[in-house]
Chain A
Amino acid sequence: DSGVTQTPKHLITATGQRVTLRCSPRSGDLSVYWYQQSLDQGLQFLIQYYNGEERAKGNILERFSAQQFPDLHSELNLSSLELGDSALYFCASSVGSSGKETQYFGPGTRLLVL
Chain B
Amino acid sequence: GENVEQHPSTLSVQEGDSAVIKCTYSDSASNYFPWYKQELGKRPQLIIDIRSNVGEKKDQRIAVTLNKTAKHFSLHITETQPEDSAVYFCAASIIGYSTLTFGKGTMLLVSP
Q: Which residues of A contact B (CB under 8 A)?
A: 2, 31, 33, 42-45, 48, 55-56, 58, 90, 94, 96-108
Cβ–Cβ contact A90 & B44, under 8 A: yes
Chain A residues near B99: list those with CB within 8 A. Answer: 33, 45, 48, 56, 58
Chain B residues within 8 Å of chain A by Cβ, number: 25
Extra A-B contacts (10), CB below 8 Å, given A102-B46, A103-B100 = A2-B43, A33-B100, A45-B100, A48-B99, A90-B43, A98-B96, A99-B31, A101-B98, A106-B43, A107-B42
Q: List 29 A-B contacts (CB under 8 A).
A: A2-B43, A2-B45, A42-B103, A42-B104, A42-B105, A43-B102, A45-B99, A45-B101, A48-B98, A56-B97, A56-B98, A56-B99, A58-B99, A90-B43, A90-B44, A94-B98, A96-B98, A97-B98, A98-B96, A99-B31, A99-B94, A99-B95, A100-B98, A102-B34, A103-B34, A104-B46, A105-B44, A107-B42, A108-B43
A99 to B93, CA, bound (A): 7
Cβ–Cβ contact A105 & B98, under 8 A: no
Cβ–Cβ contact A42 & B43, under 8 A: no
Q: What is the count of residue pairs linking A and B with beta-carbon distances less than 8 angstroms?
A: 63
